[in-house]
Amino acid sequence: MKKILALTLLAFSFSSIAYADTLLQTAQQDGSFKTFLKAVKIAGLDNTLNGDGPMTVFAPDDAAFAKLPKAKLNALMANSDQLKKVLSYHIYPGKITQADVSAGKIKSLEGADLQLSVTEGVKVNNVKVTGNELNADNGVIHTVSAVLIPKS
């Protein structure tokens, strides 16, 4: 009887383990990435951000998207292929935490290089990384203060 009770308790404890959230869920819970999340959905990248990872996302917050001219943002949101290219440029297929970051080039998911610098804070292509990193089960999110646009 004690063995059955112990096994039942053990099974219950495993079923109640909380798993960490994905990058997409983490961005949703943060609340400052509404435009980014809308763009991810339009671009069809939700499965990518819910995938296994690890990934590093340099995510523009709502304030960063607000810096884009309205016409440019509207045109981008209306073109899912171009939007996917731009958003993929914000994703590195590997995990880089604030403790790991070093100056140099990394290849984005889009295929073009991103230039990281660590003088005067962390920057990506001279765009400042702000706030604390947001950790997820499948990677990390760093907030950037502007939308990164790949060279055509």
Say what the pLDDT of residue 80 is: 96
Give the Cα separation of 119 and 31 in Å (integer): 29
Say what the pLDDT of residue 10 is: 39
Instruction: Please enumerate in sequence order all residues whose Cβ is within 8 A of that of 42, keeping only pairs 6 or more positions apart, or say none.
Output: 77, 80, 83
Give the Cα separation of 114 and 96 in Å (integer): 13
CB count, 10 Å around CB of 62? Answer: 13
pLDDT digits (tens, 9 = 90+) for 38-69: 999 999 999 999 999 999 999 999 999 999 99
pTM: 0.86
Give the Cα separation of 42 and 78 in Å (integer): 9
pLDDT digits (tens, 9 = 90+) for 88-140: 999 999 999 999 999 999 999 999 999 999 988 999 999 999 999 999 999 99
DSSP reduced 3-state for 108: coil
CA nearest to 87, candidates 60, 115, 62, 114? 60
Q: What are phi and psi of 9, to 5 degrees?
A: -65, -40
Say what the pLDDT of residue 151 is: 86
CA nearest to 116, candidates 144, 80, 83? 144
Which structural domains are found in the chain, ordered by start? Answer: 20-144 (2.30.180.10)
DSSP reduced 3-state for 127: strand
The two three-digit tokens of residue 130, written as one number: 């702000």
Is residue 108 within 8 A of residue 114, CB to CB? The reply is yes
